[in-house]
Amino acid sequence: MPGLIGKKIGMTSLFTDDGKNIPCTVIEAGPCVVTQVKTRDKDGYEAVQLAFGEIKEKSCTKPLLGHFKKAKITPRKKMVEFKGFKEDLKPGDVLTVDFLKDDTWLDISGISKGKGFQGVVKRHGFSGVGEASHGQHDRERAPGSIGSSSDPSRVFKGMRMAGRTGGERVMMISLRVVKIIPEKNILIVQGSVPGANGSYLTIEQ
């Protein structure tokens, strides 16, 4: 699907015409520059590689620096490939938020906030083992039994237990575009998107 690369600015709320207050996310979408157009004959598949967010040359590796110079653009921070572009694009072309339209639906993916090591209550929504009664005083948020003793005498794979939470790629499906501000490259969608403020997002139409 064609799309853009964006950066999460933060959340706000907007009122609809009938007075409803809806939570929204403000995204800086583009401008994105085409760095490479991949073809089936040369690369084995068709895709358009976009880049977003300028960086200094000293912060870029030499192979990437040569890649950007070949496309005749300055070094960029984030690159993503998109499939399904029907437009005839070439390296150096710029795509802005004008590419999108109001009242369309988007799939937005990003890296969720990292929570570190968390217990089963926060990580999986366990309810705990009950009240502190009959002598137990520190087991309210414990997972309880994780397997039988004699049969099967082991713990099954995939058992929901405590562990590292967040920091994973998450996609929010079918978020409605509420408003587009082309002069500021601002895209406002209904609902929340993964990641902290300032994190990069992949926007697919």
For the entire predicted model, the pTM comes to 0.82
Q: What is the dihedral of CA 191, 197, 198, 204, to 10 degrees?
A: -20
Q: How confident is the model at residue 130 (pLDDT cuts 50, 70, 90)?
A: low
Cα–Cα distance measured from residue 94 to residue 1, given in angstroms and rounded to the nearest whole number: 18
* CA-closest candidate to residue 160, choices 198, 202, 136, 127: 127
| Token pair 């590419």: residue | 99
Cα–Cα distance measured from residue 205 to residue 106, given in angstroms and rounded to the nearest whole number: 5
Tens-place pLDDT, residues 84-125: 787 788 888 888 888 777 668 999 999 999 999 999 999 999
Q: How confident is the model at residue 1 (pLDDT cuts 50, 70, 90)?
A: low
Contact by Cβ (8 Å): 187, 29: yes
Can you give the residue ranges of every domain in the chain?
3-125+160-204
Tens-place pLDDT, residues 73-82: 888 999 999 8
pLDDT, position 139: 79
User: What's domain 3-125+160-204's superfamily in CATH?
Assistant: Translation factors (2.40.30.10)
